[in-house]
A and B are shown apart, each in its own frame.
Chain A
Amino acid sequence: MSDMGNGGATGYRVLVVDDNADAAESLGMLLEMMGNQAHIAHDGLQALEMAAALKPDIVLLDIGLPGLNGHDTARRMRADSGTADAVLVALTGWGEAEDRRRSREAGFDYHLVKPVQIEDLEKILAHPVRAAV
Chain B
Amino acid sequence: MKWFSEVKPTLALTLLFALFAAGAGASFETTGRLRDSAGWVAHTQEVMGVLGLTMFGLKDAESAQRAYLLSESPAHLASYRDAVARVNELVPRLAGLVADNPAQQQRLAALQPLVAQRLAILQQTVTERGAGPGAPLRLEEGDAVMEGVRAQVQAMNAVERGLLEERISTSRRDYWIAMAAAALAAFLGMVLTLSAAWMLRRDQRRQATAHARLAEQKEWFSTTLSSIGDAVIVVDPQARVAFMNGVAQDLTGWTMAQSTGQPMAEIFNIVNETTRAPAVNPVDQVLETGLIQGLANHTVLIARDGREYPIDDSAAPIRGPEGQLRGVVIVFRDITERKRAEEALQRADRSKDEFLAMLAHELRNPLAPIRTATEILRRLGAADPVMQKAREIIDRQVQHMARLVDDLLDISRITRGMITLHMQVLDMRRVLAHAVETVRPLLDSRQQVLEMQLADGELLVNGDNVRLTQVFTNLLNNAAKYTQEGGRIQLSAVREGKDLRVVVRDNGVGLTPELLPHVFDVFAQGSRTIDRTQGGLGIGLTVVRRLLTLHSGSVQAASAGPGQGAEFTVTLPAATGTGQPVLAGNVPVGGALVARRVLVVDDNVDFAESLALALQLDGHRTQVAHDGKAAIALAPGFAPEVVLLDIGLPQLDGYQVVRRLRELPQTRDAVFIALTGYGDAEHRRRTREAGFDHHLLKPVEPAALNSLLRSLP
Once the chains bind, are A33 and B379 in contact (CB under 8 Å)? Answer: yes
Closest to B422 in A: A97
Looking at B364, B365, B370, B611, the one whose CB has the most chain A CB atoms below 10 A away is B365
Q: Does A50 contact B (CB under 8 A)?
A: no
Specify which chain A residues have a CB less than 8 angstroms from the CB of B595 in the assembled complex.
Answer: 97
Once the chains bind, are A111 and B369 in contact (CB under 8 Å)? Answer: no
Q: Does A22 contact B (CB under 8 A)?
A: yes
Q: Does A7 contact B (CB under 8 A)?
A: yes
Complex CA distance for A120 and B612, rounded to whole angstroms: 10
Once the chains bind, are B369 and A26 in contact (CB under 8 Å)? Answer: yes
Closest to B375 in A: A118
Once the chains bind, are A126 and B610 in contact (CB under 8 Å)? Answer: yes
Q: Quick one: given A30-B372, A30-B376, A116-B371, are A127 and B361 in contact (CB under 8 Å)?
A: no
CB distance from A119 to the nearest CB of B (A): 9
Q: Quick one: given A3-B699, A20-B369, A30-B379, are A93 and B607 in contact (CB under 8 Å)?
A: no
What 1/0 mask marks residues of chain A from 85 to 123 whose CB sits below 8 Å from any chain B CB? 000000101101100110110001111011110101001
Once the chains bind, are A133 and B376 in contact (CB under 8 Å)? Answer: no
Q: Scan residues 557-596 of chain B and give those whose CB is less than 8 A from a CB of chain A.
A: 593, 595
Q: Does B701 contact A (CB under 8 A)?
A: yes
Once the chains bind, are B613 and A110 in contact (CB under 8 Å)? Answer: yes
Q: Does A29 contact B (CB under 8 A)?
A: yes
Specify which chain A residues have a CB less than 8 angstroms from the CB of B380 in the assembled complex.
Answer: 33
Closest to A103 in B: B617
Q: Quick one: given A26-B369, A26-B372, are A129 and B614 in contact (CB under 8 Å)?
A: yes
Q: Does B700 contact A (CB under 8 A)?
A: yes
Specify which chain A residues have a CB less than 8 angstroms from the CB of B630 in the assembled complex.
Answer: none
Complex CA distance for A20 and B368, rounded to whole angstroms: 10
Specify which chain B residues have a CB less than 8 angstroms from the CB of A25 in the assembled complex.
Answer: 369
Contact partner of B702 (CB less than 8 A), chosen from A1, A7, A30, A100, is: A1
Q: Does A5 contact B (CB under 8 A)?
A: yes
Once the chains bind, are B368 and A1 in contact (CB under 8 Å)? Answer: no
What 1/0 mask marks residues of chain B from 450 to 485 whose CB sits below 8 Å from any chain A CB? 000000000000000000000000000000000000
CB distance from B596 to the nearest CB of A (A): 12
Q: Does B385 contact A (CB under 8 A)?
A: no
CB distance from B29 to the nearest CB of A (A): 118
Complex CA distance for A29 and B611, rounded to whole angstroms: 26
Complex CA distance for A34 and B379, rounded to whole angstroms: 9
Chain B residues touching A, majority SS: helix
Closest to A23 in B: B369
Q: Does A124 contact B (CB under 8 A)?
A: yes
Specify which chain B residues have a CB less than 8 angstroms from the CB of A103 in the assembled complex.
Answer: 617
CB distance from B192 to the nearest CB of A (A): 101
Q: Quick one: given A30-B379, A110-B614, A115-B370, are A127 and B365 in contact (CB under 8 Å)?
A: no
Q: Does B618 contact A (CB under 8 A)?
A: yes
Q: Scan residues 362-403 of chain B and give those whose CB is less than 8 A from a CB of chain A.
A: 362-373, 375-376, 379-380, 398, 402
Once the chains bind, are B366 and A20 in contact (CB under 8 Å)? Answer: yes
CB distance from A102 to the nearest CB of B (A): 11
Once the chains bind, are A100 and B362 in contact (CB under 8 Å)? Answer: no
CB distance from B48 to the nearest CB of A (A): 145
Q: Quick one: given A1-B701, A97-B619, are A27 and B372 in contact (CB under 8 Å)?
A: yes
Q: List 19 A-B contacts (CB under 8 A).
A: A5-B606, A5-B607, A20-B369, A22-B369, A23-B365, A26-B369, A26-B376, A96-B413, A100-B616, A103-B617, A104-B618, A110-B614, A111-B616, A114-B368, A123-B610, A126-B606, A129-B610, A129-B613, A132-B702
Interface set of A (CB-CB < 8 Å, partner B): 1-3, 5, 7, 20, 22-23, 25-27, 29-30, 33-34, 64, 91, 93-94, 96-97, 100-101, 103-104, 108-111, 113-116, 118, 120, 123-124, 126-133
Interface set of B (CB-CB < 8 Å, partner A): 360-373, 375-376, 379-380, 398, 402, 413, 593, 595, 604-607, 609-614, 616-619, 698-703
